[in-house]
Amino acid sequence: MRIVVPAGGIGGARFLRGLKAALGIGSPAPEEQSTNAITVIGNTGDDITLFGLRICPDLDTVMYTLGGGIDEERGWGRTGETFTVKEELAAYGMRPTWFGLGDRDTATHIVRSQMLAAGYPLSAVTEALCDRWRPGVRLLPMTDDRVETHVVVEEDGARRAIHFQEWWIKHRAALPARSIVSMGAEDSAPAPGVLEAIAEADLVVLPPSNPVVSVGSVLGVPGIREALAAKTVVGVSPIIGGAPVRGMADACLDAIGVETDAGAVAAHLGADLLDGWLVDEADAGAEAEGIEVRSRPLYMSDPAATEAIARAALDLGLELAGRRGGGG
Amino acid sequence: MRIVVPAGGIGGARFLRGLKAALGIGSPAPEEQSTNAITVIGNTGDDITLFGLRICPDLDTVMYTLGGGIDEERGWGRTGETFTVKEELAAYGMRPTWFGLGDRDTATHIVRSQMLAAGYPLSAVTEALCDRWRPGVRLLPMTDDRVETHVVVEEDGARRAIHFQEWWIKHRAALPARSIVSMGAEDSAPAPGVLEAIAEADLVVLPPSNPVVSVGSVLGVPGIREALAAKTVVGVSPIIGGAPVRGMADACLDAIGVETDAGAVAAHLGADLLDGWLVDEADAGAEAEGIEVRSRPLYMSDPAATEAIARAALDLGLELAGRRGGGG
């Protein structure tokens, strides 16, 4: 079975680990073959250039998580990470100081920046980095073009646009956001392999990633949403009981005028795209017109629970695909 | 008194620490003022770009040593240094792996590379870095132009030119060198402030730096040698008893056909440039035509010994300057 997963950072990466387990895909040992295959379309809207280094937080989180290098507690960055370079840059007076630039991580950014400077597209760079990490999935950036999520914030009555990372990390999403803009999205194209992977997919699964700045950014690349919509698409709600499971997705939903509610998020994603939607038992009554909503426990509390959620998403997907196939 | 010191790495930096002490120049506290001032003309021929980072080993060694950040045991790099970035780059298969890229050091290179990329000349970058380190001297690169020392080596009968750092670090200078070339030197110009500092100097002191690839590189920038030669110049021999005190200067001297001998090095530097030359007691009989040679203990075994050597160099310089001044 071929699955396509548009994914953001921590939530997406953890769900993918469960999905791999559910599909019997080993990692990182490449010899563990499976007839199942996952292609991840990674969000690159969070990417940022700091200190001359091109940083792709979501791609790295997926790569490290699936490749065994993630800091499990933080959910981002490398296990056993140190922050010497960051401290030294601050000692030189370099700004910003709010970004969590780890030493191990810095090497990843140096390799990426060097390859980009040499002319390789991000998709080729990501493939090269994955040569080391062997995440057990095919990890594609959503685009090789530069798309950056900016947030229009209001302070003292004045509005200005800041990079998503500044809003998310420096301001902990606490600065009121008036809108969220995917800069460059209109003129971007899907990275090589993205549309092909979708076309060949048996199923598309939306993990419990941030629906606005993760999944939303991927959907914002012209051509991707349409291609996905032609497939059977099931999603896992990142909202449980009116609050994000992790992160500050509520602030993002507020900014675009969508209620922080499992059903509202499904409706926002749209019945044209979404065929099935898993919500937590706390949201058992949630509905979204034209979308098959099922409830089950959705907390990814441990690997077994996460695998069970992934299996439920697959089951729902296959059921809906069969119905769709049967009904023409 | 205003002193100009053309300097390389470890030997030059340690001597400078003694010279500062001899002149009563405090460091790193800027409030400790002295009527004496040292301008260092730093060798940049060892500079190299690795992993997109511009690395200036000699400038950094001087800056860290005088600013209190040097690893005293190694003589280069930062105290308490770690090598995570280097190990991670190697894990990605990045080459070369032989360069000692420390994590703390990496931040220095990032700041420098960023400023250079923004258009600042190396002299301005060095000044900005010294804002943090407050070395107590004015540290100028010999040039803002790109000059790189390459070594023509012979292996299996075939000759090729490699960067000095590759020869020095990877091959420990053990690969037979046929010649040493200062690439770009002919078309380089002294950095802003270099000729002015020399013109205003009361004395020029050559520290026990490598005479070929450190002092020699500085002298290779058009205009610097002539400007220095117009001044009273005294030097401290880096060769004691027919061997370099530290490093592999003998391999460099071999490559240019100069004997590894205190007197021979003075003669190589030239009587047009050099007025006085301190040699160790082991070389008490050394002579160089037209150069006043004095012998005394020259091992920089501790700060007090180093200060005494610097004081002896100053005394010799002042004596020769007085004689010169008196004699017209």
Q: Is residue B184 part of a domain?
A: yes
Of A244, A134, A46, the C-alpha closest to B91 is A134
Distance (Å) from the alpha carbon of A49 to chain B's nearest alpha carbon? 12
Chain B residues with CB inside 8 Å of A84's CB?
A: 82, 84, 103-104, 107
Nearest chain B residue to A110, by CA: B51
DSSP notation for B93-113: T-S---S---HHHHHHHHHHH
With CB atoms and an 8 Å threshold, state whether A85 touches B92.
Answer: no
Residue B327 predicted with pLDDT over 50: no
| pLDDT of A31 over the 50 cut | yes
Helix A122-133 and helix A57-67: axis angle, to 10°?
Answer: 20
Q: Residue A214, CB half-sphere, CA atoms under 13 Å: how many?
A: 29
The residues, ordered by sequence, that sit 6+ positions from B252 with a Cβ below 8 Å of its Cβ are B173, B177, B180, B210, B211, B212, B213
User: Tokens representing B213?
Assistant: 């690839």
CATH value at residue B35? 3.40.50.10680
Nearest to B272 by CA among B311, B230, B321: B230
Helix runs in chain A, H state only: 10-23, 57-67, 84-91, 103-117, 122-133, 164-165, 194-200, 215-219, 224-229, 249-255, 262-269, 303-326
The answer to whether position A84 is within a domain reads no
Report the range of poorest mean pLDDT among A26-30, A31-35, A297-301, B281-285: A26-30
ipTM of this complex prediction, to 2 decimal places: 0.91
Identify the pLDDT of residue A309: 98
Closest residue on chain A to B50 (Cα): A114
Total number of domains constituting chain B: 1
Q: Is residue A89 part of a domain?
A: no
| Under 8 Å between Cβ of B277 and B246 | no
Phi, psi for residue A143 in degrees, rounded to 5:
-155, 155
Q: Which two tokens stand for residue B321?
A: 């300057």
For residue B104, the distance in angstroms to the closest alpha carbon of chain A comes to 6
Residue B280 · residue B295 · CB < 8 Å: yes
Cβ of B89 within 8 Å of Cβ of A104? The answer is no
Spatial separation of the C-alpha atoms in residues B221 and A311, rounded to whole Å = 70
Work out the mean pLDDT of chain B and round it to a whole number: 94
**Is A92 domain-assigned?**
no
Nearest to B103 among A85, A111, A114 (CB): A85
B126 part of a folded domain: no
Residues of chain B contacting A, Cβ within 8 Å:
51-53, 82, 84-85, 87-89, 91-94, 103-104, 106-108, 110-111, 113-114, 117, 129, 131-132
What pLDDT was estimated at residue A327? 44
> What is the span of the domain harbouring residue A271?
1-68+112-328
Q: Is the predicted pLDDT of residue A17 greater than 90, yes or no?
A: yes
Task: Name the pLDDT band for A33 (thresholds 50, 70, 90).
Answer: low
Q: Is the Cβ–Cβ distance between B311 and B295 less than 8 Å?
A: no
Q: Which residues of chain B neighbour A87 with C-beta distances below 8 Å? A: 107
Give the per-residue pLDDT at A322: 92
Interface test with B, best of A87, A103, A132 (most B CBs within 10 A): A103
Question: Which pLDDT does position A328 carry in this prediction?
Answer: 39
Is residue A83 assigned to a domain? no
Task: Give the distance from residue A304's alpha carbon to the nearest chain B alpha carbon, in angstroms.
Answer: 31
**pLDDT tens column, B198-248:** 999 999 999 999 999 999 999 999 999 999 999 999 999 999 999 998 888
Alpha-carbon radius of gyration of chain A: 19
Alpha carbon distance B11, B165 (integer Å) = 17
Measured between beta carbons, the chain A residues lying within 8 angstroms of B111 are 89, 92, 94
Taking the CA of residue A116 and the nearest CA in chain B, the distance in Å comes to 11
Residue A89 has its nearest CB partner, among B87, B92, B107, at B107
Measured distance CA(B79)–CA(B83) in Å, rounded: 12
pLDDT at residue A27 is higher than 80 = no
Sequence-distant (6+) residues with CB within 8 A of B103 are A82, A84, A85, A88, A103, B81, B82, B83, B84, B85, B86
Give the number of other CB atoms < 10 A from CB of residue A202.
16
Residues B15-41 pLDDT 10s? 999 999 999 997 555 555 678 899 999
Residue A289 forms part of a structural domain: yes
Is residue A30's pLDDT more than 60?
A: no
- Given this model, what pLDDT does residue A245 score? 86
B324 pLDDT higher than 90 = no
Q: Judge whether B22 lies within some domain.
A: yes
Which residue in the block uniquely carries the two structure tokens 């909503």? A293
Find the CB nearest B94 among A82, A111, A117. A111
